Chain A
Amino acid sequence: MAQPLLFLVSFGFGFGSIYQKAGNGNYMEFLAPGIILMSVLFTALFSGIDVIWDRQFGFLKETLAAPVSRMAIMLGRTLGGATVASIQGIVVFLLTLLVGFRPQNIVMVLASFGIMFLVAVMFTSLGTWIASTMEDMQGFQLIMNFLVMPIFFLSGALFPTEGMPKFMLLIARINPLSYGVDAIRGTLIGVSTYGIHLDMVVLLLVTAVFLVCGSYSFSKIQV
């Protein structure tokens, strides 16, 4: 919770005037969607660590020996993790209201909650997929740290993708989080670079892929 708030306040108020002078408008408005998804991203990805811990010392082991399909267990886990990550996102959203962010209308806010949940499912599945193939908790944390920073920084969350050099632009375009950030921005402030339709298609597709791959890896877990 502290980290998103820190980013929000320091970047939002810090870069605010520079951004405005560059003619891009209100930076807090631009920034808030990205920060909201930042907390969703972190929580969702790291929730995968339970797969490694719990399968030795926790409840997951009991579920693996139970007469329940692996798919059902994986889905249950993923939805649970995604719910927690989404709630984090909603809390950060409320925090943004405190620093002066004003979304365009209530209906869109509810729509954004739905998108938050989708992004949460996407990254929880990714975290579960990676964790299902690993036994080492520290290794998992290393990989997550290695992934989470580029995903977050090159998603258009902190700065617009327009001005970026070719290679960063390329990464931003294949980064699923970019479409999530764009979709949340689209719903909350009405500004969208890729168009909400494209965003939703990409998000749904990538989530489906991660769910399928995650289920497969999860079903192959041996304790």
Chain B
Amino acid sequence: MDKISFEVEKGEIFAFLGPNGAGKSTTIKMLTTLLKPTEGTMAINGFNPEKDQNQVRQSFGIVFQDPSLDDELTARENMKLHAVLYQIPKKEQNKRIEEMLRFVELWDRKNSLVKTFSGGMKRRLEIARGLLHHPKILFLDEPTLGLDPQTRNHMWEYLKRVNKDEQMTVFFTTHYMEEAEKIADRVAIIDHGKIVALGTSEQLKTQTGKKTLEEAFLALTGKTIRDEDATALDMLRNRRRMHHH
């Protein structure tokens, strides 16, 4: 990243848009204590991800780009593990697990092994899991990548509901412009590790004189395709595809 700076209000739905390699995942990883920044400061719910790691971790939930469920366990068991890791009091665990699984409409599959789930179902389960400890912020890294329209629609409905009812902040990265336009309150466009534009979709469209956010985005980031070298992660992803097909 190249010296980025931004603020997100409580209860806001904020989107980070950018082409491949712009630094979206890197930013989320720094905010969620998974990567150390080389300089600068961050504050999540008032806490510093570098110094108050555990308080920061209690404050957010995260849905990663790649699945982080245990395939050999059931949906319910995955939720239970999360409840233990986040120290949710024993008495409340079962109630909340049921609440969340019903919320994402997976309660009737609670005893099925996760490896039998489709991509969309896994994503829904990860959302249920990320919300289990009532976080103040939910981070999502490319949440709808590879999902069918019905699942995508459901997903945003769940998230908008929690955002509205509990003032939960939602921070997501994506390169699906229509979603960002429809769902996000404000949007930041990053490219080459820098924030190129920040504001509501309306502001960005006016700024660039374009009719859609997608056109504004292309105007701001240019139309050349970003070629990247395959990283170790890309090679792992290829292996994963081989294992699963």
Contacts and interface: CB of A to CB of B under 8 A. Distances in A.
Interface of A: 53, 56-68, 135-137, 222-223
B85 A63 contact: yes
24 contacts: A53-B236, A56-B66, A57-B66, A57-B240, A58-B67, A58-B71, A59-B68, A59-B81, A61-B68, A62-B85, A63-B85, A64-B34, A65-B32, A65-B33, A66-B82, A66-B85, A67-B55, A67-B58, A67-B85, A67-B87, A68-B85, A136-B232, A222-B35, A223-B29
A57 B86 contact: no
Contacts of B233: 56, 135
A58 B70 contact: yes
B126 to A, nearest CB: 9
B3 interface: no
A50 to B, nearest CB: 11
A105 to B, nearest CB: 38
Interface of A is mostly: helix
B91 interface: no
Contacts of B237: 56
Interface string B214-245: 00000000000000000011011101100000
Nearest to B129: A62
A61 B236 CA distance: 14
B117 interface: no
Nearest to A69: B54
B34 A65 contact: yes
A214 B172 CA distance: 34
Nearest to B66: A57
A135 B35 CA distance: 15
Nearest to B236: A56
A137 B235 CA distance: 10
Q: Which 8 A-B pairs have the closest CB atoms?
A: A67-B57, A67-B54, A66-B85, A135-B232, A61-B68, A59-B70, A223-B34, A62-B68
A53 B129 CA distance: 21
A203 to B, nearest CB: 31
Contacts of A68: 85
A53 B34 CA distance: 16
B239 A137 contact: yes
A56 B57 CA distance: 18
B62 interface: yes
Nearest to A135: B232
A151 to B, nearest CB: 27
B36 interface: yes
B64 A61 contact: yes
B57 A58 contact: no
Nearest to B139: A65
A222 B34 contact: yes
A65 B130 CA distance: 11
B65 to A, nearest CB: 10
B69 interface: yes
A131 to B, nearest CB: 13
A4 B229 CA distance: 42
A66 B239 CA distance: 26
Contacts of A137: 236, 239
Given A67-B87, A222-B34, A223-B29, A57 B236 contact: yes
A58 B232 contact: no
A187 B70 CA distance: 39
Contact of A57 (B57, B67, B232): B67
A220 B86 CA distance: 21
A136 B232 CA distance: 6
A60 B69 CA distance: 9
Contacts of B82: 62, 66
A149 B127 CA distance: 45
Given A66-B82, A135-B233, A223-B34, 12 more contacts: A56-B233, A56-B236, A57-B66, A64-B34, A66-B57, A67-B55, A67-B58, A67-B85, A67-B86, A68-B85, A137-B239, A222-B36
